[in-house]
Structure 1
């Protein structure tokens, strides 16, 4: 299934995402994290790539800097593998691309796959991109329209703009829905800590 896309190829039609854009009208996943609406869970996973140029690998993809990037070095499709130690709820994947800088290195079609391991991955989403610059938000849902629970995600670059061979991705964030103890989407509550750092110390071990 291919979600309907708005300007800048950012998903804007979903009610959950409304009212959460920055001054330029583009969804900002960092703002979502700081507001406690989602949790970035990529740091709980093991990341690997199908290929990369030296110095343009996982570290650059996860350094929170849009000036750096992963550059593949091989044949399509180019793969980003994200393996969790335990079954994890995933709401969306956010990918930062910049066609103005990367041109033919910019992905034009991305496939998202999920499963238990490399042997049972199934495609759960496909997105076509048209010269994207900024964050692309890909909502990941199951057949019941709920965030999926999975041990592994794979992001596959199926094709690039201008039939480019290698690809650039500048950042990837993986979000889990932030829910309170009553199962409702969390809101900012005075005196309540919602960041990952605070939540580590929320219970007595």
Structure 2
């Protein structure tokens, strides 16, 4: 487990830009999302609606939890969280714990993120000790503290990225050097 301050408010920190590179895809739609609590009308739908003007608002005691469960083991490389300290003030998370595992009973904390008045996307790489993306069934995002000791939290968006498989198998077909072999270069 490490504690760090991630990249925030940088033009390069944009999950859509990362998806357009063709190296990752957003896999949050393949998961079942649940929250520890929410105010009516400020739940999972607002957290996942791709709008920065809507948000999840918790309603209860800290820590506030977002549980993301996949039906099959999934490789995860990045999590992006959108927050806005200007608009949300004491509702803005200041310390977030990322936990991963196969179910609720074996979650392990892999990152603790410290945020200082974030405005925009926060990029959290999800890597094992060798720097490789992690295969998992479940992610838990736990808001441990809020700015100004706020009780409830606002989180505007969460995106979960999985690396795309390499196309190297097909690249080998395009490198045939003779005419006889090149005719097998495309699949009909």
**TM-score w.r.t. length of structure 1:** 0.79
When you count helix as a share of all residues, which structure comes out higher?
A: 2
When you count strand as a share of all residues, which structure comes out higher?
A: 2
- Native 8 Å contact 2:6 2:124 kept in 1: no
Q: Secondary structure at the match of 1:119?
A: helix
Find the counterpart in structure 2 of residue 77 from structure 1.
63
- Native 8 Å contact 2:80 2:124 kept in 1: yes
Does 1:137 find its partner at 2:133? no
Find the counterpart in structure 2 of residue 2 from structure 1.
3
Find the counterpart in structure 2 of residue 104 from structure 1.
90
Shift of the alpha carbon at 1:167? 0.1
- Native 8 Å contact 2:6 2:123 kept in 1: no
Q: Secondary structure at the match of 1:155?
A: strand
Shift of the alpha carbon at 1:29? 0.8
Q: Secondary structure at the match of 1:2?
A: strand
Does 1:165 find its partner at 2:139? no
* Structure-2 separation of matches of 1:122 and 1:128: 18
* Structure-1 separation of matches of 2:61 and 2:120: 25
Find the counterpart in structure 1 of residue 137 from structure 2.
151
Find the counterpart in structure 2 of residue 123 from structure 1.
109
Mind listing any 5+ residue stretches in structure 2 that lack a counterpart? 170-188
Find the counterpart in structure 2 of residue 27 from structure 1.
13
Shift of the alpha carbon at 1:180? 1.8
* Structure-2 separation of matches of 1:104 and 1:180: 43
Find the counterpart in structure 2 of residue 39 from structure 1.
25
Q: Which residue, 38, 44, 47 being the options, matches 1:61?
A: 47
Mind listing any 5+ residue stretches in structure 1 that lack a counterpart? 11-23, 184-205
Q: What is the root-mean-square deviation in Å for CA atoms of aligned residues?
A: 1.4
After TM superposition, what 4+ stretches of structure 1 lie above 4 angstroms from structure 2? Answer: none
Shift of the alpha carbon at 1:182? 2.5
Could you give the per-residue CA deviations for residues 47-104 of structure 1, whole angstroms, max 9, x where no partner exists?
Answer: 0000000000000000000000000000000000000000000001000000000000
- Native 8 Å contact 2:5 2:115 kept in 1: no
* Structure-2 separation of matches of 1:104 and 1:4: 19
Find the counterpart in structure 1 of residue 176 from structure 2.
none
Could you give the per-residue CA deviations for residues 147-171 of structure 1, whole angstroms, max 9, x where no partner exists?
Answer: 1110000000000000000000000
Counting matched residue pairs gives 168
* Structure-2 separation of matches of 1:151 and 1:5: 24
Shift of the alpha carbon at 1:4? 5.0
Does 1:93 find its partner at 2:94? no
